[in-house]
């Protein structure tokens, strides 16, 4: 028995009828609209989105990203898909089929083009597991740093700035201070928790050498007992990338890999955005609040090192 068309597909059919009869668009344009909207329908169907009223900005952005990431489409081709989506949802809003037009906040391709330089889970494992006793006295600290950066998608400046009271052992989470001094709480998995605990109990007490209250509260310290700065984090990442036989590795590559691995694992785009602490006004305005319990479940379910 043939399945009945979804509410979304019926809306597409009505839009194409309008475009042909009332707007008088050329056959080639109608064919392109039909193909583009058919691909979007398939994408939404796999995410159990049946109605145009249920489509949000996060669905549209994820669809466009999948065209780049999974199908390898060039920005020029994705620009065409973007134009189709905008025309379709503008028509839906004008005809009172949706209350708000989610496509009006979609960004242009150069803003969300596929991020280069993402490591595979196997490469990430090789990197975070490269510190060992043969790498000097601070190897436990370095292992904790790499685990934390990958577990929480941290920027180099963020991991170096973590304070002791921002590492919540009982909640398995970190309070992270990002750009603009904005704070977010990020759950972390067992490997990062265990190695950070090991560093705090076995190594850090031997590194604390100064009475400066500010310095003493910083969790990650250098051999001289001073807080680790951004440049030192870069040096640590590059050192162990060389040990692991990896090229062109920098701290932000761990962050890219964190986000990509979660998305490939099925995590919701809006949840990953909150975990990363992105502050783009155009996208964050439409994202709904996600509670901390859900964030923890996402990390447990989708991160390769939960």
Q: Catalytic amino acids?
A: 155, 179, 252, 255, 278, 287
d(CA 232, CA 289): 35
Q: Are 303 and 265 in contact (CB under 8 A)?
A: yes
Q: Which two tokens stand for residue 241?
A: 């990338």
Sequence-separated (6 or more) residues with CB below 8 Å from residue 215: 221, 225, 226, 227
CA angle 222, 226, 232 (to 5 degrees): 50
SS3 assignment, position 121: helix
| Sign of the alpha-carbon dihedral angle for 206, 209, 213, 217 | negative
- Which H helix or E strand runs over 185? strand 183-187
């Amino acid at each position: 028995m043939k399945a009945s068309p979804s509410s979304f597909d019926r809306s597409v059919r009505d839009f194409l009828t309008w475009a042909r009869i009332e707007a008088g668009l050329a056959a080639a344009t109608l064919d392109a609209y039909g193909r583009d909207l058919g691909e979007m329908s398939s994408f939404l169907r796999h995410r159990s989105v049946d109605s145009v009223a249920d489509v949000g900005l996060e669905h549209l952005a994820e669809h466009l990203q999948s065209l780049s990431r999974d199908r390898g489409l060039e920005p020029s081709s994705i620009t065409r898909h973007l134009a189709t989506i905008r025309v379709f949802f503008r028509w839906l809003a004008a005809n009172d089929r949706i209350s708000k037009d989610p496509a009006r906040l979609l960004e242009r391709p150069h803003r969300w083009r596929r991020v280069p330089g993402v490591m595979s889970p196997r490469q990430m494992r090789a990197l975070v597991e490269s510190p060992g006793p043969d790498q000097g006295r601070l190897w436990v600290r370095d292992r904790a740093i790499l685990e934390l950066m990958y577990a929480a998608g941290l920027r180099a400046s963020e991991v170096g700035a973590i304070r002791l009271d921002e590492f919540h052992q009982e909640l398995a989470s970190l309070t992270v201070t990002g750009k603009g001094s904005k704070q977010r709480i990020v759950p972390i998995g067992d490997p990062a928790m265990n190695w950070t605990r090991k560093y705090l109990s076995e190594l850090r007490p031997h590194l604390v050498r100064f009475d400066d209250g500010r310095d003493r509260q910083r969790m990650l310290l250098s051999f001289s007992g001073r807080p680790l700065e951004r440049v030192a984090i870069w040096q640590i990442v590059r050192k162990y990338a060389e040990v692991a036989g990896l090229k062109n590795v920098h701290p932000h590559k761990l962050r890219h890999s964190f986000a990509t691995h979660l998305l490939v694992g099925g995590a919701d785009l809006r949840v990953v955005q909150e975990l990363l602490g992105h502050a783009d006004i155009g996208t964050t305005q439409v994202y709904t609040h996600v509670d901390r319990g859900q964030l923890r479940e996402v990390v447990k379910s989708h991160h390769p090192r939960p």
